[in-house]
Chains A and B, each alone.
Chain A
């Protein structure tokens, strides 16, 4: 009913333009989450990932279209051996406080964030760094803890460069320890952070002295991030022009907003994938465990019409995946055994497995309940009757880790890392998420994770991904897509890594 009311308002307002942002060359964007610490390393919500790219630069720049690594604060890189990278640095770049950028800033940043008491939230982002050394004013060396080819992904992603000396400005917490999450937000990026109201808004102004880098000079003068928790309220605000840009718009509202004619509404792919895990390794310890039988797992793969779920429930930009990775990720291939929707074949396989009348099972899930319910519907048609155990992510994660969820439907975003090591290696190297426990797969993934030769990596990962699909302990389902809505006068291009680049946006 609430949706109908909002829908009525949307249609009633068709034709009322919202031009406030264009008039003063500002952009206001909102999501439902808060950003409490306006710094990279110490705040890991998606919104801060977005603002990190605006206020800070990284050594390398990952092209949003081609996913290639291009120079940014580093002009080049060289793998000296598989645990050492050397880089020359950009000259003539200044931080927002006027300090000149040089090797000292990179060395201090990396040594600080990789130290054990740094307080960095996502240890995975920095735990591969042993230390950094200065080789000259504009030359550095990074020493790795162990071979880690995904280093380039991290050097172009979360590893923002902060000015030297900034760490001394950290406040001391109640326990007498330095809290690095209190340092001032200073970077070299196209935007400067000008005002932070915790939990409410973060304002950024264009850096007029931004150097000539791959991000380009910013066009929009002021970008404001606001927290508006309720999706209905976000819709109301974008209709009145108080907001210029929102995302994660529910499908039905997105369709209504598209009819107003004043907004651009797009369904954009994301790097999040949906998957189903089946207990091939028998971790749940149950006596008659149907999931340990290959033919049962194959039956499930043939029983579910993944294409129908992707197109009808998720959105036009969602697509079915056949491999345990996101298609653009380094090392990912869709050239693996694929399973077509064929319910008759599914029933036949179940009968061959000893379940001519199907069987009952619990299915665990934690988000987009309607997707799991669609899966349950398809399974019921071939005789697999499922009982949904729907719960909060943290609760389900514990059950999965304990091996007590033999059949679960979950998702993984890879933290937008464009490398197979961020997903396949996470799930199939015999850790607590691994319901396959295949020793060959682990061996192949270890080779891929530690080699810096792209061909060796590609080949190893292909072997692992092929075996995973032969065994079907994972049924890759589809990619997630989300709806974005922005004012029509805004020239903005969304990207599948879920990192909106407001520094390239401009008013038409």
Chain B
């Protein structure tokens, strides 16, 4: 297990480095960061002054190494617009996005896994078709549109839930549903397919033949194995949610990392953009790393062959 975890951790670190390198190059190649920093009314002299001041006149590899060394020491640069160290802004806003992502994923799992299990137990019935339709609807419906529908119904007409901000737990309900619903079909279909496979397998037939109660067969033997691909997909979906949080946080005016990412792009705040992409990459990589560990725990065969 240890060797497996170390292997996976090594790959995770390499992925994070690769993402930071690609982002770094793309940001500097897609426009003049010095002009962006200097602002709209800057003269050519102002731009050259900024270029020197921020070390943007050095070669790209030197700039990258300088940034990487500082990043390892926790210095991710200063946001031009917020005039604060980027790491402080990320520490302030990341928990909001992670909370939103976590609640959204929980909602998705609480909806999809039971639906998938029940659909697998009654395959090709009207119940199965209804569950599939509900799930596919979640994927077909753009999340921003679904968010607006929720706002109109629960915020404006019924006035049950607050619409904007993140002051209380009620503020997270609509955004989490809007964000999580998108992940429902993938998880539900995978659960359903996995359960159907497992329920038809020899060892489950043996467990039933041994006289074990249906609940024990379902939860202790069948679900544990059927859920392995779901764990991996959930990690990927959490990654999508971090990206999707840009839209949802904007619609619900939640002051999280997704919105900060969007604002940094609009303002060409390239130091902030670099740091945010790295942060998202690390979350994503950590999520898949823990998913791999969880899978290895659930299925010992993975530890040996993985």
Contacts and interface: CB of A to CB of B under 8 A. Distances in A.
Given A122-B41, A124-B41, A394-B268, 18 more contacts: A5-B152, A174-B78, A174-B85, A179-B83, A181-B83, A198-B82, A199-B263, A200-B165, A226-B253, A228-B164, A228-B253, A229-B253, A230-B250, A233-B163, A233-B253, A394-B31, A394-B36, A395-B31
A124 B39 CA distance: 12
23 contacts: A5-B145, A5-B152, A12-B157, A13-B157, A36-B81, A123-B41, A123-B46, A199-B82, A200-B165, A200-B255, A227-B253, A229-B259, A230-B251, A233-B251, A236-B152, A236-B155, A236-B156, A240-B155, A240-B156, A240-B163, A242-B164, A394-B36, A394-B268
B142 to A, nearest CB: 9
Given A121-B39, A173-B78, A9 B255 contact: no
A256 interface: no
A237 B41 contact: no
What is the size category of the interface that chain B forms with chain A? 35 or more
A239 B148 contact: no
A106 B263 CA distance: 35
What is the size category of the interface that chain A forms with chain B? 35 or more
A122 B163 CA distance: 36
A209 interface: no
A229 B35 CA distance: 26
B83 A182 contact: yes
A34 B251 CA distance: 14
Nearest to B36: A394
Given A5-B148, A229-B259, A398-B35, A242 B163 contact: yes
B149 interface: yes
A447 interface: no
Contacts of B165: 200
Interface of A: 1-2, 5-6, 8-9, 12-13, 34, 36-37, 121-124, 173-174, 179, 181-182, 198-200, 226-230, 232-233, 236-237, 239-240, 242, 394-395, 397-398
Interface string B38-64: 011100001000000000000000000
A9 B156 contact: yes
A123 B38 CA distance: 11
A237 B163 contact: yes
Contacts of A230: 250-251, 253
A34 B260 CA distance: 10
Contacts of B81: 36
In this complex, the member of A34, A229, A397 whose beta carbon has the largest number of chain B beta carbons within 10 angstroms is A229
Give the 5 A-B residue pairs with the shortest CB-CB distance, closest first.
A9-B152, A229-B250, A230-B251, A228-B253, A9-B156
B145 A1 contact: yes
